[in-house]
Amino acid sequence: MSATLEKGVRVLKEIIDAPIASYFSSCVHCGLCAEACLFYTETGDPKYTPIHKLEPMRRLYEQEYTVLGRIKKLVGLSKPVTDAELGEWQELVYNSCTLCGRCSAVCPAGNDIVYMVRKMREGMSASGNSPDGIKGAATRTVTIGSPMGVKLPAVKAQMKHVEKDFGLPIPLDVEGAEYMVMLSSMEIMNFPEYLGAIAKIMAHVGKTWTLCSTAFEATNAGIQMGNSDIARVIVSRIVEGAETLKVKTVISPECGHAYTALRWEGSNLMGRPFTFKVQHIVEVLGEFQAQGLLKTEGFEKDRLTFHDPCQLARRGGVIQPQRDLMAMVSKNFVEMPDAGYMNWCCGGGGGASAIEEGEPLRMQAFKVKKTQFEAVKPDRIVTACANCRIVLEEGLEHYQMDLPVVGLTEMVADHLVEKGAMP
């Protein structure tokens, strides 16, 4: 039967594995995943129901792997999946899914819809149906070294600025350093103060650290696109850099998907364990705090709230450290409704923010964030993902909400007691 399938559909058929089959067969069509997805709740359009986003793959599974599906296809009750249909599904599989995992969290059948979307993206990518925005970011990461086209000279220029502004050295390629710090292009270009904050924190806690000239970029557009080969190339650069420098820990930056790619997928992509540990910067700061290494002074005066990046909190299980860190620097902290494990996505994760044509939908979906913020009326929003930060800023500007967004690492660094002043 599969000989009659078009190329893209054939690829999609090949990636249907045992978990996908079991998820489709256990779906009870309860619709709970719809109420968990910001693209459905904010538009009311049933096409954005998470399980519906996978409809071509469901039909293909049914037609190719179940007797009933084969019969339905034979008698014309189930229409064949075509490459053209996969093209039509691009908007549903990429623009309207941030891989946020809220749907997976509520499914009573235990279906990991994120896993299914990612599998479907593999088929879409292999059949040439991934969006140009993500394709471009992935190509730039492989050929130039970063999704925004940032090269080492630009990193070195930012390092110089930060060294001047903070009066601290930014080490590069230091063999044997305890920590290798990764960055996202967005931090290099939009938030270089993150690098200054790291320098300040590491000097404060007395740890050795380094950047790596061959692996400074952590963002993994291969994962977002659904292309394991590209994802592997990006991860292998980091592994090579970390193993050459013999570091003990690689710190994933304030970026959600970079953390997922390296922490949870990295070893599987490489087919072997790493010789180093991978931690998100929030986990590292949490450890420093628990070890009593962070001495801070003063508190933020503003009313603050925290936006949990999906990949860190829901998919990564890191929820408490950011709250403990906030408590160290703020006495006027307020939790938004649904904060923590069930926090609503910013609307731009999973590569969605790289898709220009998806912007109007993103802005519509952002209404859920607006509602969350309006419920607690903060003066500023704190987060720990540079992509969330940019997407939140865009959404807030769109809805004319004058609410600054700041990074947690910088906020912690701002309150550190000067070395000379420490008891």
Length, in residues, of the chain: 423
Shortest Å, Cβ 79 to ligand SF4: 21
Which residues, in sequence order, are CB contacts of 338 under 8 Å at separation 6+?
344, 372
Which of 204/257 has CB closer to ligand SF4? 257
Helix (H, G, I), strand (E, B) or coil at 111: coil
Residue ranges in contact with ligand SF4 by CB under 6 A: 27-33, 36-37, 39, 50-51, 53, 97-103, 107-109, 111, 113-114, 117, 345
Element (H, E) at 283: helix 281-290
Beta bridge partners of 250: 180, 278
Shortest Å, Cβ 389 to ligand SF4: 19
Cα–Cα distance measured from residue 47 to residue 124, given in angstroms and rounded to the nearest whole number? 18
Shortest Å, Cβ 16 to ligand SF4: 16
Which of 105/334 has CB closer to ligand SF4? 105
212: nearest Cα among 192, 240, 188: 240
Locate 108 and state its tokens: 């009573």
Shortest Å, Cβ 80 to ligand SF4: 23
Shortest Å, Cβ 155 to ligand SF4: 32
Which of 40/166 has CB closer to ligand SF4? 40
Which of 27/150 has CB closer to ligand SF4? 27
Cα–Cα distance measured from residue 27 to residue 221, given in angstroms and rounded to the nearest whole number? 30
363: nearest Cα among 314, 335, 396, 324: 396
Shortest Å, Cβ 50 to ligand SF4: 4
Shortest Å, Cβ 98 to ligand SF4: 5
Shortest Å, Cβ 420 to ligand SF4: 48
Cα–Cα distance measured from residue 365 to residue 393, given in angstroms and rounded to the nearest whole number? 14
Which of 117/162 has CB closer to ligand SF4? 117
Which of 200/257 has CB closer to ligand SF4? 257
143: nearest Cα among 230, 76, 236: 230
Locate 420 and state its tokens: 């000379």
Other C-beta atoms lying within 10 Å of the C-beta of residue 308: 28
Which of 45/324 has CB closer to ligand SF4? 45
329: nearest Cα among 281, 272, 359, 289: 289
Which of 189/342 has CB closer to ligand SF4? 342
Locate 208 and state its tokens: 């050795």
